[in-house]
Structure formats: structure tokens, C-alpha cells
Structure 1
Amino acid sequence: MTEHRVLILGAGYAGMAAAIQLAARGTRREDVRVTLVNAQERFTERLRLHMSATGQRVAELSIPELLEGTGARFVRGWATAVDADAKLVRIDDDRVLHYDTLVYGLGSLADTSAVPGVEDHAYTLNSAQDAELLADRLARLGRGTVVVGGSGLTGVESAAEIAEQYPELDVVLLGRQEPGAAMSPKPRAYLQAALARLGVRVLSGAEVVKVLPDAVELAGGELVAADVVLWTSGTRVSPLAAAAGLTVDERGRVVTDAALRSVSHPDVYAVGDAAAIRQEYGVMHGTCQSGMPTGVHAAVSIVRTLDGRRPKPFRFGYYHTPVSLGRHDAVVQFTHPDDSPRRVYLTGRTAARYKETVTASPWPTYGRMKKLPASGAFWPRGGRFTRGMR
């Protein structure tokens, strides 16, 4: 019997979902071998990095421990090259891993190359280690100014968390758009009022053109003094996909067909932030909310293909945008499937409890995946979630 080798690159939310789904389904077959490759053994809960950055303790989750008993193999290492024609991946310690099907889920990082000085003078939240470095700096700062560059959701959550945990610091949130710009008026107003209550100074319409050792320079020449800069503006993906000859979009994401396969290399599935996935409303943007379903769908599609069936199209609609505003406050904007805001929203402690529930550790979810019957479907079908999973 010929063994089918499935190699998964990246153990983020999407890659882990793919690995666990395949472990629940494919590894019960003697002809499937699943290998998950990640640079570190610790699972990064990106949704909690703003907490780690302020010195709060969060659980340390072990990828190998979760894979125990599944039959899937974990390989620690950095993927340095993908040869899509030879169907192999090179790891930083000179190992070579061969595959028959590749799941490409290397995700995205904060873009530190677009603005001069970011790489040298700013902190990021790319990993738990990055968050811990920032936490150490904040704990030693005493008094001073923290500038959060980028007024998107990561920036808002980080600014609120820092202001709440360190009320003696002057926290400045700056970006091109006002915070909560994609929300409807009332939840947007609530979010901005919460930032004001926490003492966060908001500079909207601000474009950073350079980060200096003690300030950020704006497009108009104005300097904003900064003892610490946290950069959350923009993301970039790994260049490995483009270097491998996979068809990518202008941001370097793998362009997929309806089943999440690379349009140029059908034996490669792309999931999460690494993929440019088109839906009826446009190309999806990366979130945990959308990332995990892509991993699930890729796994189910691989099993369908091995069974001689055609994979079904991936269908996804957004449901909500939950934003924490410190530990006891939040705003949740419910959305239409295309991510445009609905009238319904939550605020305050109710929203905080809701967000904690839906963004709690993914471990229980992954644990439930491990116990799936071979023919079961994990993700809800219909509505605003992934459809066509069986």
C-alpha cells in the first residue's frame, strides 16, 4: 500500500485546524501520514498577545502535546524553501521533507519593512517572545509615552490594554483611520469613548513615515515623542510561496481555487492568512474567525480526494468583530457575511464575556476535533460559517 504524505507548514490557527482534522480523519487510514512543521513547539495565541505584552500570564500551549495520540508527527524547524515541482520542503537544519500534498499555512507577520526605522526601533506582536520583550520594557519604563502605530483592531486592543495596566503611561494611538472605522456609528462611538476613558490619546489621519529612536515622524513633518513604539500597522506574508513558483497575489498570498487549492499547483492547499481566497463578496481578510475554517476545509478536501471524490467549494461568511477594551470592557459588532456591520452590537461587560467565550483558548475546540467520527463534520454548515464540509 502506497503511503500518501501530507505536509502542513505552519501551526497557527489554520494549520493546527488542518492537522487535527486530518488526524481525526486521515490518520485512521493506514495509507495517510500527516506531518506538521512549525518553528517552535509553543502554540501562539495571537488573540492574547496584547495581554502577554502587558505582563499578564496566559497559558503556554504545547503543539506536540495536542498531537499526542493522533498519529500526526510534529517537526520543529523553519521552512527555508519549497520546491513545488519536486514536492519537497527544506528545513533550516538541512533536512528535506517530501510530500504528496502540501498544506501551506505560514500566516502573516507585522510589516516592519514598509516604514523606515520600524525594524530597528519598534516592537511587534508577531510571537509570544515578541510580546514578552515588550512586557519587560513596559515594566521597566516607569513613566513615559507609548506610541501604538496602527489604528486597526490589534492597535486598539493593545492601546487599551497598555493604558489599563499602566495608567501612569501616556498612550498614543495613531493611524490613517479613526478607531473602529468599519463599525456602525454607535459601537464605534462606544469604542472611542472607552479609549478616551482609559486616557488613550488618538491621532487619526496620521501617517507615520519614519520611526526614530525616541519619536515617530508623521507625513507632515510633525514629531510625536515616544519612549516605546509598538507597530501594528500592516502585515506581510512569507516570500516562500512566490519563490516556489506558486501563483500569488500582489501581497504574496497564494491564489486558490474554490476548494482552496493553489491555482498553479493543485497538490498545494493554502489556508489562513497565507491564502488569497475569493468569495462572492471579494477576497477574504485574515482572522482567526476565518482561518480555522480554511484549515478544516482543506483537511476534509484532502480526505475527499483520497476517497476518489471531488472536493467541494469553500464558503465562508463573517459573523462578528469582537474587540477587547481592557479586561472588563469590550465592543462586539455583529456583521453581515461580507463583514459589513449590522445594527446589532454588544458593549461593556456583556461584550467582554462574549469575547472571552468566543476567543477562549482553541485547545478545547482542537480537542473536540480529535474525537470526531471519521465521517463527521466539525464546522457548522450553512449561514455564515463554512459550508459543504462533508
Structure 2
Amino acid sequence: MAHRIVVVGAGYSGLRAARRLARSLPEASVTVVNPRAQFVERVRLHQVAAGYRPREYALPDLLRADGAEFVVGTAQTLDPRGRLLGVDTLAEPLPYDTLVYALGSVAQAGPAGAAEHAVTVADPGQARLLRDRVDSLARERGTVAVVGGGLTGIETAAELAESHPELRVRLLSAGEPGSTLSDRGRRHVLATLHRLGVEVCPEAKVVAVYPEGVELAGGARVEAGLTVWASGFGVPDLAQRAGIAVADGGRVAVDSSLRSLSHSDVYAVGDSAAAHGPGGRPMRLSCATALPLGRYAADVIAARLHGRSPRELRFRYLIQCVSLGRRDGLIQFVAGDDSPHEKVVTGSGAAAIKERVVRYAARSATGR
């Protein structure tokens, strides 16, 4: 019987791993499970919220070209002892010999009212909902509050302000926006947000979300016709519910080869993996991490199935890319461990570099 490899999740990391596995192990059976039949360029979802229409990639066609099978459905249960994955669209659990866990990340749970009254840019359905609501709100010259001073919140606020200048955009951050950037990088981000008309509110911790706005720690209210929750990411709890060892935050605990510390037939990649990079620092949740981890996990699995010792992972970060609308951006140079340098590229040149990086990421995942 062919060795059965199941990849659960077809984002940047899962799709990269699945396609490479299918090509390097033609004697194996590779099956990919994903809730949607399209590959999602997740790094463009803040653009989708502002009206951008991304290219569509059909997962069945992409995978078929490399010899892999595709199942559209949501993984609901995982039985590591029996090596079975329960999928909502299948009558019987899907058996595996090796599982690649690539479920990615989801919007971090917010305070009271966030789930009911806020939208996110963490998945395409929410991004399209945000686009439609923003279009309506802009016609009324209304206010949108973007909660989260990290890069997702910054990119979302800038994109909405540039595409809808009649909209009032407020960026609410519990600390200083762009705190992971260098001083030069942060100054450029704040100056660009100011130029775009974004009202930046630092030290504004949101403790509740209502239909008409948010409440801050201390009791102050900020009115908004629409609230966007962009305050961090978490991960699905499937692995934790299945008894697979997880690290803080629920990411799968892995060794240096991305193999689960508790189950030797499970590998985790991308945002789902509690992997560590140079200096032992946790790896960033990004496609810059996801793509090389997907490729590496596929090589490790292929090597072990062929009776070879896998090579060590060689990885370092180079830059962080931040879009600030379509005509401005920031390229933040970083050390190998992702700590920022003072060297930056800004303006239209940075926007062009970011666009090239995003296109390269899509090509690396899809082959198209």
C-alpha cells in the first residue's frame, strides 16, 4: 500500500508542502484537505477589504497537476492514535500514515462584543464583508475604527483611508503602533498615516465592542459605524483537542525538523508550528516563514521515507514588508533573528518591492 500523506490546510505553507511532496514522492498518496477550493492570498486581504479583486487559484487544478488529491471540507476531529482525520464532508474519517498540520492562524478572540459587532481581515469572507460595509459607510461619510497597532492594523487602516478618503479612519492601539519596527520605520509609518488622514490613538486598549463603537480601558467610548478587529492572531485548537503537544498559544510543539514532540507521524508548518529561528526566537506568523517551512517539512518527510537523514533547516529573516496604501510602503531591514535594523526603504519604491514580494509568495505556493 502507498504511504498515505494527508496535508490539512492549503495556505502558503500547506500548499507548498503538498505540491513538493507529490513531486518528490510519486509512489506515495498525497491528499490535501481545505475548507475552500481556492487558494487565498491572505497577505492581500486588507486590499480585498478596500475593493481589490485578487486572482483566483483553483486548488483542485493546482494539486492535480502535481499528482495530489484534494478534498474540500473542514477538519473537525483528529485521532492521532488511530491516525484518522475527521472531515465534515466525508462519511468516514480520512486515514493517514503521515500528517502535515498546516491549519494556519485565525483572528485572535477579542473582548466582549467583538465576535458579534466587529469584522476582521483574517479570512476572505470577512474581508469581503468588510469591503461591502466600508463602501456603504463611506457613502455616509462615516467612521471606521481599526483596533490593533500591529502591522495588520496599520496596513488595513492605511488601505481604507487611501481608497475611501471620505471615510474617517481611527487606528486604536493598546501600545505604540508599529512597536516591532525601528525608530525610522515607525516614524515613516506614523507620518504616512497622518498624511492619509488616519487618526492614530496610542495607549487606547479596547475592552468592549458595541454596534456603535468601542469602549476603552478607563471607560471612555469611541464612536464608530464599523469596527475592524485586527489585534493579533491565534490558531485553531484541533491539535490541542486531539492531545498533540502544543506550546503557548496552542501552536504545535515541534523539534528542529518540524516533527511533533508528542507524535512522530505528525509535522506542523507555517503559523500552526511553534518553530524557532535564529537565536531561539519564535518565528514570525507570515508567509516569509510559511513558505520555507512548508518546503523544508516536505524535504524532511521525503528524506525519512527514503531512509536518509534530513538536512538541517537553514533560515534567517531579511526584511519586513509593510504596505501603506497602494503608493507608499515600508521595507524594514532586519537581522536574521527578525530584530529590526535602522535601515529602511520607504515611499513608492517600498510599495513596489512589497508588491513583488507578494507576487513571488503566490508563485512559490501555487507554481503559477
Q: Which amino acid aligns with 2:142?
A: G
Distance 1:55 1:297 in 2: 35
1:165-201 deviations in whole A, cap 9, x for unaligned?
Answer: 1111110001122222222212211111000000000
1:348 Cα shift? 0.5
The residue that corresponds to 2:104 in the other structure is 107
The DSSP-based 3-state class of the residue aligned with 1:318 is coil
Other-structure match for 1:285: 284
- Equivalent residue, structure 2, for 1:45: 41
Distance in structure 2 (CA, Å) of the matches to 1:307 and 1:359:
34
**C-alpha contact (below 8 Å) 1:45/1:361 kept by paired residues:** no
Cα deviation for residue 18 of structure 1 reads 0.3
Q: 2:50 aligns with which of 39, 51, 54?
A: 54
Counterpart mapping for 1:123-142 below 5 A: 123-141=119-137, 142=139
How far off its partner does 1:250 sit?
2.2
Asked if the contact 1:54/1:135 (under 8 Å) is kept, the reply is yes
Q: CA deviation at 1:325?
A: 0.6
- Does residue 92 (structure 1) correspond to residue 88 (structure 2)? The answer is yes
Measured after TM superposition, the shift of residue 347 of structure 1 is: 0.4
* Equivalent-residue separation in structure 1 for 2:289 and 2:362 (angstroms): 17
SS of alignment partner, residue 214 of structure 2: strand
Letter in 2 for 1:201: E
1:234-275 Cα offsets, whole Å, 9 max, x none, are: 222111101111100121110001100000001100001111
Matched, 1:299 2:295: no
Q: CA deviation at 1:314?
A: 2.6
Among candidates 142, 147, 150, match of residue 149 of structure 1 = 147
Separation in structure 2 between the aligned mates of residue 363 and residue 319 of structure 1, nearest angstrom: 19
In structure 2, the CA distance between the partners of 1:367 and 1:284, relative to structure 1 (3 Å rule), is closer
Aligned position for 2:207: 209
Spell out the pairing of 1:1-390 with structure 2 (5 A cutoff): 2-27=1-26, 30=27, 32-93=28-89, 94-112=91-109, 114-141=110-137, 142=139, 143-279=141-277, 280-360=279-359, 362-366=361-365, 368=367
- Paired letter, 1:176: A
Q: How far apart, CA to CA, are the structure 2 residues paired with 1:216 and 1:366? A: 38
**SS in structure 1 at match of 2:61:** helix
In the alignment, the residues of structure 2 paired with residue 236 and residue 362 of structure 1 have an alpha-carbon distance, to the nearest angstrom, of: 22
| Residue matched to 1:378 | none
Percent identity at matched positions?
A: 46
Note the residue ranges of structure 1 that are not aligned, 5 or more in a row. 371-390
1:309 Cα deviation from its structure 2 partner: 1.2
Question: Take 1:326 and 1:135, find their aligned partners in 2: how far apart are those partners?
Answer: 15
For residues 160 and 366 of structure 2, what CA distance do their matches in structure 1 show? 32
Q: 2:276 corresponds to which letter in structure 1?
A: R
Equivalent residue for 1:375?
none
Distance 1:274 1:167 in 2: 37
Residue deviations 1:41-64 (CA, integer Å, cap 9, x gap): 011111100111011221122111
Q: Do the aligned residues in 2 keep the contact of 1:329 with 1:348 (CA within 8 Å)?
A: yes
Query: Which amino acid letter does the alignment assign opposite residue 92 of structure 2?
Result: R
Report Cα offsets for 1:276-330 as digits up to 9, x if no partner.
0123332212111001111101100010001101223333221111100110110
- Distance in structure 1 (CA, Å) of the matches to 2:183 and 2:340: 10
Deviation of 1:126 (Å): 2.2
Report the TM-score, using the length of structure 2 for normalisation: 0.96
State how far apart, in whole Å, the 1-side matches of 2:235 and 2:52 are. Answer: 28
Pair 1:261–1:102, CA change in 2 (3 A): same
1:379 is matched with none
Kindly report structure 1 stretches of 4+ aligned residues shifted beyond 4 Å: none
Q: In the aligned structure 1, how far is the partner of 2:106 from the partner of 2:217?
A: 24
Superposition deviation, residue 361 in structure 1: 5.8
Alignment size in residue pairs: 364
Structure 2 gap ranges (5+): none
CA contact (8 A) 2:147 2:171 kept: yes
Please state how far the C-alpha of 1:70 moved relative to its aligned partner. 1.2
TM-score computed with the length of structure 1 as normaliser: 0.91
Is the Cα contact below 8 Å between 1:159 and 1:200 reproduced in 2?
yes
Q: How far apart are the structure 2 equivalents of 1:197 and 1:203? A: 15
Deviation at 1:363, TM superposition (A): 4.1
Conserved 8 A contact 1:109-1:236: yes
Distance 1:278 1:48 in 2: 26
Distance in 1, Cα, partners of 2:135 & 2:238:
37
